[in-house]
Structure 1
Amino acid sequence: MKAVILAAGEGTRLQPLTQSRPKGMLPVGDKPLLEHIVESIKAAGVDEIVLVVGHKRERIQNYFENGDDWGVDIQYVVQPNPRGTGDALLEAEHEVGNSCIVINGDRIIGAELLSRIIDKHQSTGDACLAITEVEDPTQYGAVTLDGEEITDIQEKPEPHEVTSSLVNAGVYVFGPDIFAAIRQTDHYGELRLTDTLREYIQSQPLHAVRYDGMWLEISRPWDLLSVNSAMLARNGSTIASSAVVSEDATLGEPTVVGDHTRIQPGARVFHDVVIGDNVTIGANTVLTNTIILEDTVVKPGTVVADCVIGSGSQIGPLNSIEGGLTDVRVDDELYTEIKFGGLIGDNVTMKGNVTVEPGALIGNGVRVESGSALDGRIPNDTHVYRG
């Protein structure tokens, strides 16, 4: 059986970071999101993978190549335009042949789930869908059950429509008949896999496989922080051998420090911090619950909390990104009481004494003059002056 990873989407809710990289290459701990998925697939005994790629696909293909480094064989299929998960799977039809396990490329799951859902399909010969329990089903595909068979899937139901807390976990096993079902699906705009399944279950069984293990999804900017925290709690700290950490710096637990990164005297790196390769953390900086991508410099005396900083940026000195609870609007949807200091894009330059208010979304290439205060959404390549 082959595994199909659906990783072609643009990840618009994670912009500006996903304007220059696919969502699957965002860091989770010491490796990209997609690498965690590939490792789970291998651990479940599947060694043939079809990666459906699209947006910025060269970043994925250059990283994984043919899969040899992970002990798997990876084939690539291109979805030229983001036309939905059903269309993405249909693109892989010629590479799959028989039954396949299908995984959404924006979530980390345990190998145990993959083994169980494969076993369920092999014992029944029917399609299977993993389900899990969440606090807010309105953000997912809510499922209705009759025993252990799924009788309905409703994407992002209204609160009054929710009948249970069980949702589609984004892991499926299908026989080859799924491709004909996708082609026959009535749809407007994007062709979602769940649209196909709502029609499919009118005549075919779809077995639920319940799962309460590791299930970590990245859809919004602050999900990067919570998912990284969860993975660090499981795996602990990783400090690259080539990193240079001053004896006068403080490293809390858990943290990740990448290759050739330099942490200067007096810096305090507290819990849940992921620092990428070739990053410089200046003297007397303070970092908490923060992700910093490669080739960035955080200059002396800067305080950063609950924040994601893109690659190639220059932050500080004496900047303040103190984090905390805030309301954030993403794709016209307002999220309230989110612990999120902000997202700073790639190649941003901030001079000294800049304040970033909680929840700010700062685009790629933004330049910020000394003493400025940033709030809300700052478009790409904006030049911000104090005033």
Structure 2
Amino acid sequence: MIGVIVVPGHSPLMHGLDANRSFALLPLGDRPMLQHVIESLAAQKITSIELIVSHAPKEVESLLGNGDRWGCRFRYHLATQPDRPYRSLKIISALKDQPWCLIHAECFPCIDLPSVKASQPVLLYGSVQDDPAADGQQAVAGSSVWRGAAVFPAGSVTDAFASQSIDELRQQLESMAASSEATVLHVSQWLDGSTPAALLETQTALLDRRFEGLMISGVERESNVWISRNVVIHPTVELVPPLYLGPNSRVNRGVRLGPNVVIEGECIVDSDTSIEHSLITAGSYIGQGLELNKALVDHNLLINVRLGTSVEVVESFLLGGLKQVRRSNMLARILEPILAILLIILFLPVSLLSLVVYALLRRLTYTPVRMVQLPARENEVASRTYPLLCLGADAWVVRRVAGWRTFLRQFLPGLFAVAQGKISFVGLPPRTVEEIEKLPSDWRALYLEGSSGLITEAALSLSDPRDETQRYLADAYYTVRRSFLYNLKLFFQYFGRVIFPGGPGLL
């Protein structure tokens, strides 16, 4: 059997969630819903899959690739008219010789498709009264609806079939079912992401393990509580199962999460916030003291499922997006060395005076310490090193809070490495090969993907820089928050701390 998946385009029911991606790529548990569909088909030995995509094709192909990951063969077809996506069926020659299943990716039937015998079209129906997708529809007891899934015999694609719109095909197939030219098969379980309400209901069923064969990755810390890698959770956080916390996320003090919550990853949930029956997409920031119930949050977009409304929140301290910067900005790479040279010239008298004072009092001189240049792969750690000047070889050994001493011993000598482009002004703490090798595996993976800097989150925020747990929390927090504006904020905070020494930080 051949699988034909129609990946949906825009839908007004999604309230803008599909602006930059197909809503089939929205998370269902720990992975996009479309990936669940692919994995279910692969588990049923349907390995030849044709994907018809009308919106964000690059994102779909980037997620799935060529199918080797699942032992499948994928072919992609671009639907230039999203409302008539079936025209590509005419060029799929294998449909003439083999039975095939049509799946609209937002609604996937949880049955064994190859076991369906299709001497005539078999329409897979679901009950309206069990359909959480029907926003605005009145549920009628005992009535059914065709959800876009069907099994067809070989050779069923005609020119008339392929030229129809989605609504026209629906009408034709339902007319065929009424005249017994097609068979109706009722299916009780569906992966339904056609609306925000349907997605949350399906998410709840997945977290409750109601879908046989669908797995959630991550460590199950307790029953139905899955925690992925590099997640920082404050000890005062209350976790109410079932829920899933995605990678590189941070949950601050006093937060209550669950039940039925999915946080996709790269997210921050700030202090004293409560989230229930909700989905938070990747890279979102949730502010302090909020209460979210039956909601979807995509950066600053808030969808209230109970009211069927949405709003874009303009106040970034309430909701916002956290942009993950994996590569240095070109403008910053040009400006930082220039600024470093200017600062070297400006503070040259201070540098020379501090060198004389430390040499006389503590016999310390400028010493190059070899640090690992970030980002780096695991096998590159030993080879990607550079000399970072500091006053005394122990200047970076003991982590210190920002102040006049770190400014003289670390910042001023380190400007030479910034001028050479080896390190940034703001980033993760520079570390030696030996220090990196001693880090736990999760911490090391997070660190090697980042960028190092003379000014660090730990130096500004920690109450005790020697505490390993707090240092990890600071690294994870910076990795999620880092952006040009956030780096600029830390830069000025650092100089403010040098001029006006303050108390302990927030973390």
What is the TM-score of this pair, normalised by structure 2?
0.53
Match of 1:250 among 205, 219, 238: 238
Match of 1:25 in 2: 25
Q: Does residue 57 in structure 1 map to residue 57 in structure 2?
A: yes
Match of 1:350 in 2: 315
Deviations 1:175-222 (A, max 9, x none): 24332163487x7x766322332565698832222322x213223222
Q: Does residue 131 in structure 1 map to residue 133 in structure 2?
A: no
Cα deviation for residue 353 of structure 1 reads 7.6
Match of 2:249 in 1: 261
Asked if the contact 2:7–2:106 (Cα under 8 Å) also holds between the matched residues in 1, the reply is: yes
Match of 1:207 among 165, 175, 183: 183
Asked if the contact 1:181–1:196 (Cα under 8 Å) also holds between the matched residues in 2, the reply is: no
The 3 A distance-change label for structure 1 pair 174 and 182 is: farther
Match of 1:271 in 2: 259
Aligned-partner SS, 2:145: strand
Asked if the contact 1:282–1:300 (Cα under 8 Å) also holds between the matched residues in 2, the reply is: yes
Aligned-partner SS, 1:227: helix
Deviations 1:301-342 (A, max 9, x none): 22222111103x499xxxxx9x7854x4xxxxxxxxxxxxx5
Aligned-partner SS, 1:230: helix
Match of 2:280 among 282, 285, 292: 292
Residues 7-18 of structure 1: matches in 2 within 5 Å? 7-18=7-18
Residue type of the alignment partner of 1:18: D
Residue type of the alignment partner of 1:165: S
Deviations 1:359-380 (A, max 9, x none): xxx9xxxxxxxxxxxxxxxxxx
Deviations 1:8-36 (A, max 9, x none): 43223203111111011011111111111
Residues 152-167 of structure 1: matches in 2 within 5 Å? 164-167=142-145
Deviations 1:118-165 (A, max 9, x none): xx22xxx3222222333189x88xxxxxxxxxxxxxxx9999xx8952
Aligned-partner SS, 1:20: coil
Q: Does residue 192 in structure 1 map to residue 191 in structure 2?
A: no
The 3 A distance-change label for structure 1 pair 46 and 183 is: closer
The 3 A distance-change label for structure 1 pair 299 and 136 is: closer
Residues 1-387 of structure 1: matches in 2 within 5 Å? 1-84=1-84, 87=86, 90=89, 93-94=92-93, 96-98=95-97, 99-110=99-110, 112-117=111-116, 120-121=117-118, 125-135=119-129, 164-180=142-158, 182-183=160-161, 192-198=168-174, 205-212=181-188, 214-234=189-209, 236-311=224-299, 313=300, 325-326=306-307, 328=308, 343=310, 348-351=313-316
The 3 A distance-change label for structure 1 pair 226 and 210 is: closer
**CA distance in 1: counterparts of 2:178 and 2:77, whole angstroms:** 30
The 3 A distance-change label for structure 1 pair 265 and 73 is: same
Structure 1 stretches of 5 or more lacking a match?
141-155, 316-320, 329-341, 355-361, 363-387
Aligned-partner SS, 1:178: coil
Residue type of the alignment partner of 1:134: V
The 3 A distance-change label for structure 1 pair 94 and 353 is: closer
**CA distance in 1: counterparts of 2:317 and 2:76, whole angstroms:** 45
The 3 A distance-change label for structure 1 pair 88 and 277 is: farther
Figure out how many residues of one structure are paired with residues of the other and give that number: 305
Asked if the contact 1:12–1:18 (Cα under 8 Å) also holds between the matched residues in 2, the reply is: no
**CA distance in 2: counterparts of 1:70 and 1:184, whole angstroms:** 29
The 3 A distance-change label for structure 1 pair 273 and 48 is: same
CA RMSD, Structure 1 to Structure 2 (Å): 3.5
**CA distance in 2: counterparts of 1:288 and 1:38, whole angstroms:** 29
What is the TM-score of this pair, normalised by structure 1?
0.69
Aligned-partner SS, 1:37: helix
**CA distance in 2: counterparts of 1:22 and 1:32, whole angstroms:** 10
Aligned-partner SS, 2:62: helix
**CA distance in 1: counterparts of 2:88 and 2:122, whole angstroms:** 16
Rg (Cα) greater in structure: 2
Asked if the contact 1:77–1:92 (Cα under 8 Å) also holds between the matched residues in 2, the reply is: no
Structure 2 stretches of 5 or more lacking a match?
210-214, 216-223, 321-507
Compare the two structures and name the one with the higher strand fraction.
1
Q: Which moved more, 1:199-208 or 1:175-184?
A: 199-208
Aligned-partner SS, 1:277: coil
Residue type of the alignment partner of 1:244: V
Asked if the contact 2:250–2:269 (Cα under 8 Å) also holds between the matched residues in 1, the reply is: yes
Match of 1:368 in 2: none
Q: Identity over aligned residues, as a percent? A: 22
The 3 A distance-change label for structure 1 pair 174 and 181 is: farther
Q: Which moved more, 1:246-255 or 1:126-135?
A: 126-135
The 3 A distance-change label for structure 1 pair 89 and 207 is: farther
**CA distance in 1: counterparts of 2:193 and 2:45, whole angstroms:** 25
**CA distance in 2: counterparts of 1:253 and 1:215, whole angstroms:** 22
The 3 A distance-change label for structure 1 pair 262 and 84 is: same
Structure with the bigger RCO (C-alpha within 8 Å, sep 6+) is 1
The 3 A distance-change label for structure 1 pair 14 and 184 is: closer
